[in-house]
A and B are shown apart, each in its own frame.
Chain A
């Protein structure tokens, strides 16, 4: 029975692959929705970051980890690069459970066998949704949802690409294109067959600031948040860069005048 199912899947796969071989399934060029953070003076939109964080927390984090981001990075107090106050960050961290074992007696599980857990503190990182890769694959039809900490830097096209993937569903595949079992059609993904189900639907989250939660809005917000997660020091970098450029240009001007002066008696 198992073998029959395996053979059937294999046959379907082969048929679909053969059918799709006739079509060029290279990804469409990403959409360019425009970002607050692009350009040399572009900064992150604070409200979008907070909304995007909410989308990540309520939707994406069910499958995707954010392993490299710590809660304290969310703080904007004391010169931090985040977008929440310290008390808000403490409250957010406390809303997560992180492994606490071993305790003073060396136990890692309580009397009922459940691992010891404690509320998170700002120094903790976002806990992953799955214990390990195998658990993640088992829960997702064999596919591994990638960690999102640096996703916008780890894909060609960056934020535009991630936005296009999230909003690229719900289109009718072209005639002759076969969507594989447990896959979804997304023409912005290489090969067009993506393992991620359409992640967003309208009004999936309720924004505190009253913004209408359309799919485009949520996607735009969460990609802003993920770009921040990948590059939290961007604003700091651009601000310092501006000062450095001003200094270097002025310094180059002075050096040029010195150069002309020193060489005046030679030429």
Chain B
């Protein structure tokens, strides 16, 4: 679908440049004339939104790093200094800390969009896997960043998460502890831990940017999937990316930024645990150690398993599972619009993840407010459904489900008079 290049250099300079470094040709073919299915909906605008959010995080992060001090006895005060005495430091920090939340909000919509429309299926398996790698890198970056303000939650989140590795002790005695101490750079979370976390937190976004380039490259080889999940048959099914999708993406991006701005300017601390405004204190454990909202479903899975090592395996297994999705889904139909059964299980998965997020914010021994119903069985059920969806339901559905008939082409589906248009379209 990428097809041959339609770029024609217009000036002597661009002609000269084109035979030396065809960078303008590349930009033209990938960002301007790139043939894009004409029926992409709102949910397809999140790729552009994510690129924008990555840019926001990198730019605000670089400026914050100019003022931040990665030392255990100064980190908290340096963040307060940014908030009080650095010009617009409060804006940079609130954009960065809330930006992470909005980055994850967008990536979750993007991932579920891919799951719903079957965007992971051939020939887009590599595109999907690169996306999963970006997501895992985002989790790592967000966790490292959460530690940097060196508040109570920062310190104890770092302690809890690094301690996960000590569970390896159960199969290789002492090895897990050795790994944990190697990660810490000492015998507890401390100055060396903070220093290396800062270094890695600065590095990983650029790794993400690199994988994003691969992700977009892998997108441009087969071209976009679309809500119908059927292949593009010819030029009547597509429109050039610019101006059609640049303007559509820009509009939805602007709506997304409005939501972002409401939180940054009016509710900047609504997503933060108040405890993280208390300086880190290794001698005082907070009553409740919780990650940021976007990691709560995984935290619920971890805490629903009584055995630590198995809990850790389940936690990482939930992420690794995503890598196999292209081969676990046996249905030949991509879009769930035409899969009446799969659609219901998909929405159950969405609800499952939200419920797990709610349960993850509470202790495993908690009960639902106002009742005596314990939360733990629900966390276990939710965890079981997450794995069952990918490892049992998706493979089985492809065998037993009867999909609804697919439209012949994108053009026939989009326009009432599509058939005539298809016939009227000049053959290429």
Q: Are A255 and B265 neighbours in the complex by a CB distance under 8 Å?
A: no
Whether a CB of chain B sits under 8 angstroms from the CB of A89 is no
Question: Beyond A73-B84, A267-B415, is A252–B275 a contact (Cβ under 8 Å)?
Answer: no
Whether a CB of chain B sits under 8 angstroms from the CB of A137 is no
Q: Are A255 and B254 neighbours in the complex by a CB distance under 8 Å?
A: yes
Q: How many Å lie between the Cα of A258 and that of B414 in the bound state?
A: 21
* Residues on A with beta carbons closer than 8 Å to the beta carbon of B248: 259, 263
Whether a CB of chain B sits under 8 angstroms from the CB of A170 is no
Q: How far is the CB of A153 from chain B (nearest CB, A)?
A: 4
Whether a CB of chain A sits under 8 angstroms from the CB of B243 is yes
Whether a CB of chain B sits under 8 angstroms from the CB of A131 is no
**Pick from A238, A259, A266: contact of B265, CB under 8 Å:** A238
Task: Name the residue in B243, B251, B255 with the highest tally of chain A Cβ atoms < 10 Å from its Cβ.
Answer: B251
Interface residues of A in 212-267 (CB under 8 A from B): 230, 232-233, 236-238, 240-242, 244-245, 248-249, 251-252, 255-256, 258-259, 262-263, 266-267
Chain B residue nearest in CB terms to A190: B287
Q: Are A255 and B258 neighbours in the complex by a CB distance under 8 Å?
A: no
Q: How far is the CB of A248 from chain B (nearest CB, A)?
A: 5
**Pick from B91, B277, B415: contact of A240, CB under 8 Å:** B91
Q: How far is the CB of B102 from chain A (nearest CB, A)?
A: 14
Whether a CB of chain A sits under 8 angstroms from the CB of B212 is no
Whether a CB of chain A sits under 8 angstroms from the CB of B339 is no
Indicate with 1 or 0, residue by residue over A63-92, a CB within 8 angstroms of chain B CB atoms.
000001110010000000000000000000
* Residues on B with beta carbons closer than 8 Å to the beta carbon of A155: 274
Q: Are B247 and A241 neighbours in the complex by a CB distance under 8 Å?
A: no
Question: Beyond A237-B90, A240-B265, A241-B266, is A262–B414 a contact (Cβ under 8 Å)?
Answer: no
Q: Are B90 and A233 neighbours in the complex by a CB distance under 8 Å?
A: yes
Q: How many Å lie between the Cα of A258 and that of B269 in the bound state?
A: 35
Q: Are A256 and B91 neighbours in the complex by a CB distance under 8 Å?
A: no
Chain B residue nearest in CB terms to A241: B265
Indicate with 1 or 0, residue by residue over B234-248, a CB within 8 angstroms of chain A CB atoms.
000001000110011
Q: Which bracket fits the contact residues of A?
A: 35 or more
Q: How far is the CB of A71 from chain B (nearest CB, A)?
A: 12
Whether a CB of chain A sits under 8 angstroms from the CB of B257 is yes
* Residues on B with beta carbons closer than 8 Å to the beta carbon of A236: 90
Q: Are B251 and A255 neighbours in the complex by a CB distance under 8 Å?
A: yes
Q: Are B83 and A252 neighbours in the complex by a CB distance under 8 Å?
A: no
Q: Are A251 and B254 neighbours in the complex by a CB distance under 8 Å?
A: yes
* Residues on A with beta carbons closer than 8 Å to the beta carbon of B94: 237
Whether a CB of chain B sits under 8 angstroms from the CB of A10 is no
Whether a CB of chain B sits under 8 angstroms from the CB of A50 is no
Indicate with 1 or 0, residue by residue over B83-125, a CB within 8 angstroms of chain A CB atoms.
1110000110010000000000000000000000000000000
Q: How many Å lie between the Cα of A238 and that of B90 in the bound state?
A: 12
Q: Are A245 and B265 neighbours in the complex by a CB distance under 8 Å?
A: yes
Whether a CB of chain A sits under 8 angstroms from the CB of B80 is yes
Q: How many Å lie between the Cα of A191 and that of B84 in the bound state?
A: 34
Whether a CB of chain A sits under 8 angstroms from the CB of B77 is yes
Chain A residue nearest in CB terms to B265: A241
Q: How far is the CB of B330 from chain A (nearest CB, A)?
A: 35
Q: How many Å lie between the Cα of A263 and that of B239 in the bound state?
A: 10
Question: Beyond A73-B84, A255-B251, A256-B251, is A153–B269 a contact (Cβ under 8 Å)?
Answer: yes
Whether a CB of chain A sits under 8 angstroms from the CB of B268 is yes
Whether a CB of chain A sits under 8 angstroms from the CB of B261 is yes
Whether a CB of chain B sits under 8 angstroms from the CB of A4 is no
* Residues on B with beta carbons closer than 8 Å to the beta carbon of A251: 254
Task: Name the residue in A68, A230, A242 with the highest tally of chain B Cβ atoms < 10 Å from its Cβ.
Answer: A68
Question: Beyond A245-B261, A245-B262, A252-B254, is A266–B38 a contact (Cβ under 8 Å)?
Answer: yes
Q: Which bracket fits the contact residues of B?
A: 20 to 34
Task: Name the residue in B243, B248, B265, B414 with the highest tally of chain A Cβ atoms < 10 Å from its Cβ.
Answer: B265
Q: How many Å lie between the Cα of A248 and that of B257 in the bound state?
A: 8
Whether a CB of chain B sits under 8 angstroms from the CB of A113 is no
Question: Beyond A266-B239, A267-B414, is A241–B264 a contact (Cβ under 8 Å)?
Answer: yes
Chain B residue nearest in CB terms to A261: B247
**Pick from A154, A256, A262, A266: contact of B277, CB under 8 Å:** A154
Q: How far is the CB of A44 from chain B (nearest CB, A)?
A: 15
* Residues on A with beta carbons closer than 8 Å to the beta carbon of B254: 248, 251-252, 255
Q: Are B266 and A40 neighbours in the complex by a CB distance under 8 Å?
A: yes
Q: Are B239 and A150 neighbours in the complex by a CB distance under 8 Å?
A: no
Whether a CB of chain A sits under 8 angstroms from the CB of B351 is no
**Pick from A149, A232, A255: contact of B250, CB under 8 Å:** A255
Whether a CB of chain A sits under 8 angstroms from the CB of B278 is yes
Q: Are A258 and B247 neighbours in the complex by a CB distance under 8 Å?
A: yes
Q: Are B274 and A153 neighbours in the complex by a CB distance under 8 Å?
A: yes
Q: How many Å lie between the Cα of A267 and that of B264 in the bound state?
A: 37
Q: How far is the CB of A93 from chain B (nearest CB, A)?
A: 16
Chain A residue nearest in CB terms to B80: A68
Q: How far is the CB of B400 from chain A (nearest CB, A)?
A: 37
**Pick from A230, A240, A262: contact of B243, CB under 8 Å:** A262
**Pick from A68, A237, A262: contact of B244, CB under 8 Å:** A262
* Residues on A with beta carbons closer than 8 Å to the beta carbon of B77: 68
Q: How many Å lie between the Cα of A191 and that of B247 in the bound state?
A: 57
Chain A residue nearest in CB terms to B239: A266
Q: How far is the CB of A129 from chain B (nearest CB, A)?
A: 18
Q: How many Å lie between the Cα of A263 and that of B269 in the bound state?
A: 39
Q: Are B258 and A249 neighbours in the complex by a CB distance under 8 Å?
A: yes
Whether a CB of chain B sits under 8 angstroms from the CB of A156 is yes
Interface residues of B in 55-97 (CB under 8 A from A): 77, 80, 83-85, 90-91, 94
Q: How far is the CB of A16 from chain B (nearest CB, A)?
A: 21
Q: How many Å lie between the Cα of A232 and that of B265 in the bound state?
A: 14
Q: B residues near A, CB below 8 A?
A: 38, 77, 80, 83-85, 90-91, 94, 239, 243-244, 247-248, 250-251, 254-255, 257-258, 261-262, 264-266, 268-269, 274-275, 277-278, 414-415
- A-B contacts, 19 listed (Cβ < 8 Å): A40-B266, A68-B77, A69-B84, A73-B84, A150-B277, A153-B269, A153-B274, A156-B274, A233-B83, A238-B266, A240-B91, A244-B261, A245-B261, A249-B258, A252-B251, A252-B255, A255-B250, A255-B254, A258-B251
Q: A155-B274, A156-B274 are in contact. List 14 more A-B contacts (CB 8 A).
A: A70-B85, A149-B80, A153-B274, A154-B275, A233-B83, A237-B265, A240-B91, A244-B261, A244-B265, A245-B262, A251-B254, A259-B248, A263-B244, A263-B248
**Would you list the 4 A-B pairs with minimal beta carbon distance, nearest first?**
A241-B265, A154-B277, A255-B251, A252-B254
